[in-house]
């Protein structure tokens, strides 16, 4: 699985890459900067789940995702622009509601900062029904890039529960 995450990080960086991205200095960030980035990524991930739990496919795609995003699914790697992401999320919401889903929440997210503009968050997330009963526990890693509008998801990779990605700061 780690090979898939590393490949996905590479693909995500290439898709979102720019001359500025390619020139990011590879240096260790100060602890206070790492802490701020982690807090900002958690904030972005929390906002994403608010849009998601409100079944707001357009906001998920336009406010939480970058112009292109990569996911690894049952048929391999899929790259989508925001319009395709919005359509995919809209379809997902229909299917989730059929099984009683009303909201989702992160459980113990782990944010790893790679540099000043790249981070990923690995976490279990819970799906709840209208009675606040847990209907599913799932696990995924989201790759974030920072642009002029803040932290955006450029990769979304599900994984088994025992494969949460961790890091050393």
Mean pLDDT of each 10-residue bin along the chain, 169 residues long: 45 47 70 96 97 96 92 80 91 95 95 96 96 96 94 92 84
Question: 69: closest CA among 6, 153, 141, 8?
Answer: 153
- Give the per-residue pLDDT at 18: 46
Residue 169 belongs to some domain of the structure: no
- Give the per-residue pLDDT at 72: 76
- Give the per-residue pLDDT at 23: 58
- Give the per-residue pLDDT at 75: 78
99: helix, strand or coil: coil
Cα–Cα dist 94/19, whole Å: 39
Residue 168 belongs to some domain of the structure: no
Residue 60 belongs to some domain of the structure: yes
Beta-ladder partners of 112? 120
- Give the per-residue pLDDT at 22: 52
Residue 126 belongs to some domain of the structure: yes
Structural domain span for residue 38: 2-18+30-163
- Give the per-residue pLDDT at 25: 60
| Domain containing residue 6: CATH number | 3.10.450.50
Tokens of 86: 């919005």
Contact (Cβ atoms closer than 8 angstroms) between residue 154 and residue 68: yes
Contact (Cβ atoms closer than 8 angstroms) between residue 16 and residue 66: yes
Residue ranges of alpha helices (H) inside 54-119 are 57-59, 82-98
Task: Tell me the per-residue pLDDT of 70-83, one tens digit each, with 9 for 90 and over.
Answer: 877 777 888 889 99
Neighbours of 26 (CB within 10 A): 6
Question: 12: closest CA among 72, 88, 97?
Answer: 72
Residue 95 belongs to some domain of the structure: yes
- Give the per-residue pLDDT at 71: 79
Overall domain count for the chain: 1
């Amino acid at each position: 699985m780690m090979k898939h995450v590393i490949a996905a990080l590479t693909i995500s960086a290439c898709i979102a890459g720019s001359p500025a991205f390619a020139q990011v200095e590879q240096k260790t960030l100060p602890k206070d900067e790492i802490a701020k980035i982690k807090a900002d990524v958690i904030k972005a991930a929390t906002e994403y789940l608010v849009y998601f739990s409100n079944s707001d496919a357009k906001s998920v795609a336009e406010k939480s995702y970058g112009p292109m995003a990569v996911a690894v699914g049952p048929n391999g790697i899929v790259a989508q622009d925001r319009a395709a992401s919005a359509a995919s999320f809209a379809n997902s919401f229909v299917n989730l509601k059929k099984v009683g889903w009303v909201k989702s929440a992160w459980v113990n997210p782990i944010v790893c900062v790679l540099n000043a503009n790249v981070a990923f968050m690995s976490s279990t997330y819970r799906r709840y029904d209208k009675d606040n009963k847990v209907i599913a526990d799932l696990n995924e890693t989201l790759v974030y890039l920072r642009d002029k509008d803040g932290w955006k998801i450029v990769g979304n990779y599900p994984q088994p529960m025992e494969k949460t990605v961790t890091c050393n700061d």
